[in-house]
Amino acid sequence: MRKTSIAIIASFFAMESCAYAQSSVTLYGLIDVGVNYINNVRGHYNIALTSGVVQGSRWGLKGREDLGGGLSAIFTLENGFDVTNGTLGQGGALFGRQAYAGFSSERFGTITLGRQYDLLTDFIAPLSILTETGIGAPLDNDNTDHTIRLNNTVKYTSADYGGLKFSGLYAFSNSPSSDAAGTGFAANRAWNFGAAYMHGPINLAVAYSSMNGLGANSTGAITNAPVNAPVLKTVTSQKIFAAAGGYTFGPATVNLVYSHVKFKGSTQNFINNGEDVNNYQINGVYHVTPATVLSAGYYYTDIVQNVGNIKPKFQILQLMADYFLSKRTDVYVLGAYQRANSDAGPASFAPYPLDSGVSGTGNQVLVRVGMRLKF
C-alpha cells in the first residue's frame, strides 16, 4: 500500500512538472550606453553620455501558455528606460515600448491586443540601416524607427506560408461616435496592413499605415507623439507607404528601402501645408567574421511642399563597426553625417536620444562609441 501511495504521489508531481513545462515566463532586456560627439550644436561641439541610440534600453517579460492543439496564450510587457539616469522612456509609461496579450496558433497565426508596434516596424524596419545603427529618416517621418507606437491595437499576423507572411491591425480611438469636439470615432485612430516574403537569399516587404487625428484625445491610438515627435503636434493625418527588398550573398546583405509619407495639418518645421515626403535608402551589412560586423547606409529625403517654391532635401550617410565579445555583449563605433539644403533649414539628429540639438549650419556629424549588453 505504501509503495502504491508513493507511486501515486510521484505520478502527480510528474504531471505537475509536465504542466509547468508547457508554460513559460521569460525576463529579458538590453542596455545600450555610449559617448556621443556632435561637431556642431548651435555653433559649438557637444560630448555627452547617452542611452539607447543604436537600440533602446529596455527590460521586459514574455509569457506563453500551451493550450494544446498548437494554440498558445501569449503576452509581452516591455519597459523602456534611460540607463544614464534611471528614468522611464516613452513619456514615462511603465510599459511604454510594448504591452499586449493574445493567442498564437501554429496553423492560423497570431492575434494580439494592446500597445504594439505598427507594421512599418514589423516588416520594413528589418531591412533598414536603422536596425544596425538606430538612425532613420529625418525626424523619423516614416516611423520605421517606431517613434510612434499604437495604443488600443488589435493586430493579426498570419502563419508562415512558404516564406510569405501578412498582417493587419486596427488601433481604436476609444471615442464615441460623436463627441464634444466633433471629431468622433475616427479621431486619433490608425490602421495598417503589410506583408513580407522570404525565400533563400531574397527578402521582400511592403506596408501601409494610415493615422488620423494624431493626439486628438488622451485615450486614442497615439498619445505619446507630442513627447517623442514634436513635429507631429499639429498633424491631422499621416499616411505612409513603404516597400523594401534585400538580397544576401555569402556574408553580405544589400537592401533597398523606399517610403512615401503624406502629411496634413502640420505647421511644424518642414512638415507644413500638407507635404509629400519621399525617402530613398540603400544599405549593406558585411560579416567580416562571426564576431565582426560592418554596416553602411545612405538616405536621401526629398520633400515636395504644396505651398511656396521651396524644396527641402536631406542626405544622411552612416557607417558602423560592431565587435561581439560574446553572444550577449558587443562594442561598436558609429559615425553619421547629415546634410540639409538651405530650404530644409539646419541639420539635426535631435529626434533621436543623442543630446545633439540643432546644428548652426546645414551639416552635422555624429560619432558614437558604445556598448550593448543583452540579458
Q: What are the tens digits of pLDDT across the range 125-145?
A: 999 998 999 998 888 889 888
Asked if pLDDT for residue 29 goes beyond 90, the answer is yes
Asked if pLDDT for residue 175 goes beyond 60, the answer is yes
Residue 167 lies in a domain: yes
pLDDT cut 70: percent of the chain above it: 84
Q: What is the pLDDT of residue 274?
A: 59
Residue 149 lies in a domain: yes
Residue 5 lies in a domain: no
Phi and psi, residue 85, nearest 5°: -140, 0
Residue 146 lies in a domain: yes
pLDDT cut 90: percent of the chain above it: 64
Residue 330 lies in a domain: yes
Asked if pLDDT for residue 186 goes beyond 90, the answer is no
Q: pLDDT confidence of 336, banded at 50, 70, 90? A: very high
Mean pLDDT score across all residues of the chain: 87
Number of domains in the chain: 1
Q: Find where cell 539616469 sits.
A: 85
Asked if pLDDT for residue 285 goes beyond 70, the answer is yes
Residue 297 lies in a domain: yes
Q: What is the pLDDT of residue 9?
A: 40
Residue 122 lies in a domain: yes
Asked if pLDDT for residue 318 goes beyond 60, the answer is yes
Residue 8 lies in a domain: no
CATH code, domain with 35: 2.40.160.10
Q: Residue 129 sits in which domain range?
A: 24-374
Q: CA of 224: how far to CAs of 215, 256, 338, in Å?
A: 8, 30, 26
Q: What is the pLDDT of residue 11?
A: 45
